[in-house]
Amino acid sequence: MTQKVPKPIIRKIVNSPYLDLFGALLVFSACIFRDFHQTIYFNGAIQFNIPNEALLDHFAKGAFPLGILSTIGAVFSLLSTRLIGKQKNSGNFIGILTTINSGVIDFMFGNASAIITYPITFIIHNFTFFKWAKGTKIRERDNFYYLILVVGLILGFILVFLGANIFGGRTDIVFLISVSIIFGLSLGANFSTAFKYEETWFSWVIYNIVQLFKNTLQMNIANIAKYIFYLFNAAVTLVDWKVNRDAPIPARA
């Protein structure tokens, strides 16, 4: 007997390929409209608004294509999140790759602690990929879920402040606190994703709100657009995982 989907409309929204396309186009269009692709890292500093005709010349001289890679990374990171929401393990694999790209970019935007934090995220993504490959099902929150969240936040503050003291970079307190909260939330959310806790997407809702604040401080236009979409996606997926859980995608009429 086929399991009935309690909220088929929500499930269809979560699994909609059109929403994937809209999100990807939203991020890409925002980057191009704000000329973010013209951002480079050259001679030890971020340089904005490099004319298109001068980009190749700068690249030939060793400039790092910060804006272009950030745009590409933002699109694929969005697609990774969408696939994870659909409970597809391919999203975790893409997440492994985008973590490397995001870590380099975050470091160049002043987050020196990325040297410590992103390798941990990379390990968690790998753990999630192999755990999902064994057939993990959505589960209700328990005491271990709350432990994950608390430990994630504590480690977030410890590692970010430790990284700033060791490697330098931006050390203003508002920036470090926001990065600590973001990394702590992502640790808990990523690890709870590995176990498919139904409340995982509530953690991502909070995470995306804080990310909007952080990326506004960094003036990372690509990520601002991305996290607005992420906030909507996390809210819809939260309902889907809590209500529809592991029920199959409703068949088309």
Handedness of CA 87, 114, 43, 45 (dihedral sign): positive
What integer best gives the mean pLDDT of the chain? 87
At position 107, the amino acid (one-letter code) is F
* pLDDT tens digits, one per residue of 178-207: 888 888 998 999 999 999 999 999 999 998
3-state secondary structure of 48: coil
Answer whether residue 24 shows pLDDT above 60: yes
* pLDDT tens digits, one per residue of 145-177: 999 999 999 999 999 899 888 887 778 888 788
CB 80 within 8 A of CB 98: yes
Record the tokens describing residue 144, joined without a space: 């271990």
pLDDT of residue 222: 64
Residue keyed to tokens 């994937």:
20
* pLDDT tens digits, one per residue of 90-128: 999 999 999 999 888 888 877 778 888 899 999 999 999
This prediction has a pTM of: 0.84
Residue keyed to tokens 């590995």:
194
Burial group, residue 98, by CB count within 10 angstroms (0-12, 13-18, 19+): buried
pLDDT of residue 187: 93
At position 14, the amino acid (one-letter code) is V
Higher pLDDT, 236 or 70: 236
Q: Partners of 41 in the beta sheet?
A: 46, 64
Question: For 186, phi and psi rounded to 5 degrees?
Answer: -70, -35
